[in-house]
Amino acid sequence: MDADRYGGATTVTDWKELLRTDPRETLSELLSRLAARRSADPDLEDLFWRALVDYGEPHEVTRALLGRLRAAPGPTLLDLDQEHRTRCHGRLRVEAAEELGAFRLDPGEREAIAGHPLRLPETVYERRGRPAAAAALYALEHDRLAEREDAFGALARAALRYKLARALHRAASLERAGELGFAIMESALRQIEPGVGAQWSAQGTAPGGASPAMAVRLRFHVYEWLGLRHYEAERYAEAEESFLRAAALLPESELGVAVLVFAANALLHQGKRSEARHLLDSIQGRMRHLGPRDLAEEWEALYGQLEEELGEES
């Protein structure tokens, strides 16, 4: 690329002329400058996003959107003006719906997926190994609901943050993906604090069949995910806390039992053998009734390790 050519571009008029004569190369240059940071010139910012939607390849739009994810998530996730969020959202949804058209689905199911903010990116992108594209669309769908203040809006935003964080974790090649995913997942909890239940009590069941039980289930999965990521990073005390918080939300379920096994493993890594043994003892009876084979085997392996380390006979 000719550095001198772009070094002489000092005004929006200069950039407009460059886009007119060579849109692809000029857009590539603008991407290198503005994909990860907002321009100080609002007119150049506007020109960049308009050109990106008009001329950009799908992976370029994705790259620019993910580059604008806020390091500290607030009410919105993208550092982007509403007009440009709307235009990007329109383009990405159309492209995803077009790809969905190639799937072998009955018309009713295709229509249901195409109109769903979670199922469309999950079906078209995540299940086909394209987590970055899914993450971009999740972020846009989230910000589209940023001003909805009812309980359903809070739950929908939390679910979209949860899906976005998971997609970022899978898109490990993206810069800051792990750091951003963790911050976004933690912020999902603030969307579904217990106060949401009070809103539901006043409003009744939310649209789409949402209920307080759905919020509890989502909180469980957020804590479970955070626990697993802490565990991978060898932050075992934090992993233990996250797993125990998850288990407290679904104490009688198979899922609750599973995360208690994970918590016992985190305790063991901290050298807290007696605490781990006590925790495993406390769920032994439930394991027989709830635990699937792989979970039961995990429990047996951990318990056997504890027996050996504590010098006790089974």
Same domain, 198 and 220: no
The pTM is what? 0.84
Q: Check whether 190 has a pLDDT greater than 50.
A: yes
Residue ending a domain, among 173, 191, 210, is 210
Whether residue 167 lies inside any domain: the answer is: yes
Element (H, E) at 116: none
Q: Check whether 76 has a pLDDT greater than 90.
A: yes
Domain containing residue 297: 216-314
Whether residue 276 lies inside any domain: the answer is: yes
Same domain, 151 and 238: no
Identity of the amino acid at 301: A
In angstroms, how far is CA 98 from the centroid of its own chain?
Answer: 23
In angstroms, how far is CA 77 from the centroid of its own chain?
Answer: 11
Same domain, 172 and 266: no
Same domain, 197 and 87: yes
Those residues with Cβ within 8 angstroms of residue 75's Cβ, 6 or more apart along the chain or in another chain:
146
Angle among Cα 163, 165, 167 to the nearest 5 degrees reads: 70
Residue 289 banded pLDDT, cuts 50, 70, 90? low
Whether residue 40 lies inside any domain: the answer is: no
Those residues with Cβ within 8 angstroms of residue 41's Cβ, 6 or more apart along the chain or in another chain:
12
Q: Check whether 222 has a pLDDT greater than 60.
A: yes
CA distances (Å), origin 68, targets 82, 88, 102, 158, 287: 13, 13, 31, 19, 45
Q: What is the pLDDT of residues 79-123, one digit of tens each?
A: 999 999 999 999 999 999 999 999 999 999 999 899 888 999 999
Whether residue 20 lies inside any domain: the answer is: no
Residue ending a domain, among 180, 210, 240, is 210
Same domain, 294 and 184: no
Average pLDDT, the chain: 84
Same domain, 248 and 181: no
Residue ending a domain, among 193, 210, 227, is 210
Same domain, 170 and 80: yes
* The predicted structure's pLDDT at residue 43: 95
* The predicted structure's pLDDT at residue 313: 36
Same domain, 205 and 222: no
Same domain, 194 and 269: no
Q: Check whether 201 has a pLDDT greater than 90.
A: no
* The predicted structure's pLDDT at residue 206: 47
Whether residue 136 lies inside any domain: the answer is: yes
> How many domains, the chain?
2
> What CATH number did the domain enclosing 273 receive?
1.25.40.10
Same domain, 200 and 271: no
Lowest-confidence segment of 41-50, 139-148, 252-261 by average pLDDT: 252-261
Whether residue 86 lies inside any domain: the answer is: yes
Whether residue 37 lies inside any domain: the answer is: no
- Rounded to whole angstroms, how far apart are CA atoms 300 and 302? 6
Same domain, 84 and 145: yes
Same domain, 220 and 204: no
Q: In DSSP terms, which residues pair with 78 in a beta bridge?
A: 69
